[in-house]
Structure 1
Amino acid sequence: MVTKQQEKSRQTMEELMTSAMELFGEKGFVQTSVSEITSRAGYAKGSFYRHWESKNQLFLQIIEQKLLEYRRARDRRIEDARDLEEALRIIWDFLESMVQDSQWAKVFLEFTIHSVRDTELRTEMRRRQYRLSETIFANLVRRFVTSDYPAEKIGALNTALFEGFMVHNALETGVLSLEDVRETAIALALSKGAGQG
């Protein structure tokens, strides 16, 4: 049974996370301070530090929750996939839904770049729950791969193409659409994973 204190703690966390995402969207991750997050949510800084050690830890929790929502929908659909192409299209639908949430995509990209210079944070970001890694991708398509080409390479190629598109999209060059990248990634994966490797 959830106590009133536990419910209040959960509500405080949710309000702080909402405040943080609003500010990250407006100002960016790096430019947003813990003081601004707590002030917007109507809490003292101590409330923040009762739940997280740092702004990085807060954002990791936001990433985990956000990706969990996306993955639930993807995983239900992929169970019914009949072949590699259908599995890839389901995965790319999942990726497209992330890109369509443009504010989230920009903040996620900024945080990913921010993590590059912090060894501990970079290690944490490579964990499976924080991004579509080559391992997760490989595990999603492995049963559909009919060649001897490693599923991890299919995962790495698709992940690299998607993450490259995220950068391209953030720069607003307008040269490539997600559809261009998606169809190229699927064609490449099918040529490697459904052929003779």
Structure 2
Amino acid sequence: MATKQQEKSLQTRQELMAAAVELFGAHGYDATTVADITRRAGYAKGSFYRHWQSKDELFLDIARARLAAYRAQRDARMDQARDLEQAVHLIWDFLETILADRDWSRLFLEFTVHVSRDEALCAKLNNGAYRLSNSLFAELVRDHVRTDFPPEKLGALNTALFEGLLIHRALGTGTLDTRDVREAALVLIRHYAAPRSPDQTNTGETP
């Protein structure tokens, strides 16, 4: 059973994270300081640094928790997939929940740019707990792949399309919508993961 001190520490942590999410969404990642977060949550800076060494570490904890919640919704449905196409549609249903949270998707893009020149932070962000995971995607579709094309590469292709869509939406070009990119992902995955006839192999035709 948690002690009162442990419960208080957890409450402080949760309130600081909630304040950070609110401020990041309103003002952006770079414009929000640790002082802003502690002021909004009603704590001294020392309370922040008892939980995290930096604002970057705080963001990674928020990203991990957010992605875990999205994945829980997805995993509850994945057993319904009977073939590759159904699996990909369920995965894209999950991805659309991320897209629907516009503040979070913009914030994640901002943080990605923020860490792009920091090798250690990039390595952390590439951990599957914080962003889309090629290896996890591979495990979700592996039983449905009928060729020797590595499922991890299918995951990388899918992630590239999804993250490209995030940028496209952030810029507000409006040329593509989620349905377009979902269909493009299906075409690519069918091409690499479904066996092709000899005629298709010779012509490069997508089945």
Task: Say yes or no: does 1:58 pair with 2:58.
Answer: yes
Q: Any idea what SS the aligned residue of 1:152 has?
A: helix
Aligned to 2:189: 189
Structure number with greater CO (CA < 8 Å, separation at least 6) is 1
Structure 1 residue 195: deviation in Å? 2.4
1:63 maps to amino acid: A
Aligned to 2:20: 20
Q: Any idea what SS the aligned residue of 1:51 has?
A: coil
Structure 1 residue 146: deviation in Å? 0.9
Q: Any idea what SS the aligned residue of 1:59 has?
A: helix
Structure 1 residue 188: deviation in Å? 1.4
Structure 1 residue 135: deviation in Å? 1.7
Unmatched segments (≥5 aa) in structure 2: 202-207
1:17 maps to amino acid: M
1:138 maps to amino acid: A
Structure 1 residues 1-197: aligned runs within 5 Å: 1-196=1-196
Distance 2:169 2:133 in 1: 20
Q: Any idea what SS the aligned residue of 2:50 has?
A: helix
Distance 2:67 2:120 in 1: 21
Deviations 1:133-162 (A, max 9, x none): 222211211111011222112111111000
Q: Any idea what SS the aligned residue of 2:49 has?
A: helix
Deviations 1:154-174 (A, max 9, x none): 111111000001011111111
Give TM-score, length-normalised by structure 1: 0.97
Which stretches of structure 1, 4 residues or more, deviate above 2 A after TM superposition? none
Distance 1:112 1:136 in 2: 20
Structure 1 residue 132: deviation in Å? 0.8
1:171 maps to amino acid: L
| Identity, % of aligned positions | 55
Distance 2:79 2:6 in 1: 36
Q: Any idea what SS the aligned residue of 1:130 has?
A: coil
Give TM-score, length-normalised by structure 2: 0.92
Deviations 1:1-28 (A, max 9, x none): 0111111111111110011011101111
2:161 maps to amino acid: L
Unmatched segments (≥5 aa) in structure 1: none
Structure 1 residue 89: deviation in Å? 0.4
